[in-house]
Amino acid sequence: MSGRSVFRRGRLALVAALALAAGALGLWTGLGEQSTAQAAAGVPTPDHVIIAVMENHAYSQVVGSSSAPYINSLAKGGANLTQSYAETHPSQPNYMAMFSGSTQGITSDACYTPGFSSAPNLASQLIAAGKSWGSYNETLPSQGSTTCNSGDYARKHNPWFGFSNVPTSSAKTFSQFPSDFTQLPQVSYVVPNLCSDMHDCSVATGDTWLKNNLGAYATWAKTHNSLLVVTFDEDNSLSGNRIPTVFYGQQVTPGATSSTRYNHYDLLRTLEDMHGLGYAGNAASGKDITGIWTS
């Protein structure tokens, strides 16, 4: 065999090996194509994201308030969105909006039939993309329970139960929240109960709950490429639905602020773009939250 033939065969073998390696990493998608699993430009891809949702307080009731020292410490050590807004009133349609890009025709807090919608949503998109999803719901009677109300638990704050394409088993009790944070899903929601989320109890009560229950995760996130988002479903109906929203984690610029107007649809779009997903509902016409990341 000539030296040229040996060289050619060796070169072809090298190309094949590189293609195989790239495919194993999810990077080989064919000539002229890009992987749909990559994050959109301008947003990072955290290893873990937790979205914690609090209740019924305006931006001015929380940010800068002495009753919320922990949330304000997250804002100072992370990023504060000063013009963050909910979509409507009351609570339930806002949860549907932030989870699926649409209120899904919900206009009240009344109990709906579980699994009434098959519309795309954050969980169904993550599952379809082979990524992990879960929710941790304080005072949920049991994992996957579709009970509407039980003590301080209210299903109106847990939109995943409205979708037939989200396994009810992915809704866990908060007692199942792992102490080993590497065991968390890639994206998860944490929903406190009616007292802990400031709905029925004080700002100070909710702030302390966040510190006691998510403070360790927030500290861990700073050094483990992870992210905590604290937001609210709606304001107190007195401030144009302007709500607090804070980002905290390793890829968040400490002390960053953004005066860009954002809403729940923009938050959903940002989470989708972090994981290379499509867009659910109004997230398609939303915008990514930018200008707060370290790179």
Q: Does domain 44-285 have CATH number 3.40.50.1220?
A: no
152-176 pLDDT per residue, tens: 999 999 999 999 999 999 999 999 9
Query: What span, in angstroms and rounded, lies between the C-alpha atoms of 76 and 69?
Result: 10
Query: What span, in angstroms and rounded, lies between the C-alpha atoms of 261 and 274?
Result: 20
Give residue limits of the domains in the chain: 1-35, 44-285
Q: Residues 124-128: what's their mean pLDDT? A: 98
- Contacting residues for 236 by C-beta, under 8 A, at least 6 apart: 56, 57, 58, 61
Burial class (CB in 10 A: 0-12, 13-18, 19+), 90: middle
Inform me whether the pLDDT recorded for 19 exceeds 60: no
42-79 pLDDT per residue, tens: 999 999 999 999 999 999 999 999 999 999 999 999 99
231-283 pLDDT per residue, tens: 999 999 999 999 999 999 999 999 999 999 999 999 999 999 999 999 999 99
Full-model pTM: 0.87
Query: What span, in angstroms and rounded, lies between the C-alpha atoms of 120 and 165?
Result: 8
